[in-house]
């Protein structure tokens, strides 16, 4: 397990570099905002099985699920991209999810978006919107994760 993820899991705390916070929702402290270890292991198995070229995560918060996913994606193959859309990353979540991803060494793997108006996914290039393409002739697997404080729902498209 990556040392950043291991620290978060063990301490149940995150930091923005100056303030340490509990791994809870800032406005609703009774709500957890991160996947637990069994859910993280499930996400990693799913990534390992699907071996996506592109993955999409909607909602990042403190970046715990992102760290689990990126840990597996980094072992899948080169050229893999993980797109993270979180319009509240800089405000409500204080940039902590992005910081955790950078600190863990996964910054080059992740494309963070707070404004998702220009996202489109494709296996071929040729439009003016943001595209992720595969140079191989085989089909591209796509893995998406929609997360909320109560559930994590993986979506796999082959």
Residue 53 inside a domain? The answer is yes
Total number of domains constituting the chain: 1
Residue 128 inside a domain? The answer is no
CA–CA dist 59, 6 (Å, integer):
21
155 vs 11, residue with greater confidence: 11
Residue 73 inside a domain? The answer is yes
Residue 120 in tokens: 């489109």
Residue 44 inside a domain? The answer is yes
Angle between helix 64-76 and helix 96-103 axes, rounded to 10 deg:
30
How many Cα atoms are found within 13 Å in the side-chain-facing hemisphere of 91?
Answer: 6
Residue 77 inside a domain? The answer is yes
Residue 67 inside a domain? The answer is yes
Residue 108 inside a domain? The answer is yes
Q: Which pTM value belongs to this model?
A: 0.78
Q: 144: pLDDT confidence band, cut at 50, 70 and 90?
A: low
146 vs 46, residue with greater confidence: 46
Report the CATH number that the domain containing residue 54 is assigned in CATH.
3.40.50.150
CA–CA dist 118, 6 (Å, integer):
34
Domain, as residue range, for 150: 3-12+25-116+133-157
CA–CA dist 43, 139 (Å, integer):
21
At 124 the pLDDT is 40
pLDDT, tens digit, for every residue of 50-96?
888 888 998 999 999 999 999 999 998 778 899 999 999 999 999 99
CA–CA dist 119, 34 (Å, integer):
25
Residue 138 inside a domain? The answer is yes
Which is nearest to 84 in space by CA: 123, 39, 119? 119
CA–CA dist 97, 102 (Å, integer):
9
């Amino acid at each position: 397990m990556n040392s950043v993820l291991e620290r978060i899991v063990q301490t149940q705390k995150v930091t923005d570099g100056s303030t340490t916070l509990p791994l809870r929702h800032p406005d609703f402290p009774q709500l957890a905002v991160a996947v637990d270890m069994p859910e993280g292991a499930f996400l990693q198995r799913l990534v390992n099985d699907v071996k996506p070229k592109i993955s999409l995560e909607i909602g990042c918060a403190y970046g715990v699920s992102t760290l689990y996913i990126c840990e597996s994606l980094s072992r899948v193959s080169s050229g893999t991209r993980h797109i993270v859309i979180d319009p509240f990353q800089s405000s409500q979540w204080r940039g902590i999810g992005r910081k955790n991803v950078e600190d863990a060494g996964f910054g080059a793997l992740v494309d963070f978006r707070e404004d998702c108006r220009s996202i489109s996914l494709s296996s071929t290039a040729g439009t003016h919107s943001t595209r992720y393409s595969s140079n191989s002739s085989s089909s591209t697997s796509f893995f998406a994760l929609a997360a909320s404080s109560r559930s994590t729902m993986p979506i796999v498209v082959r």
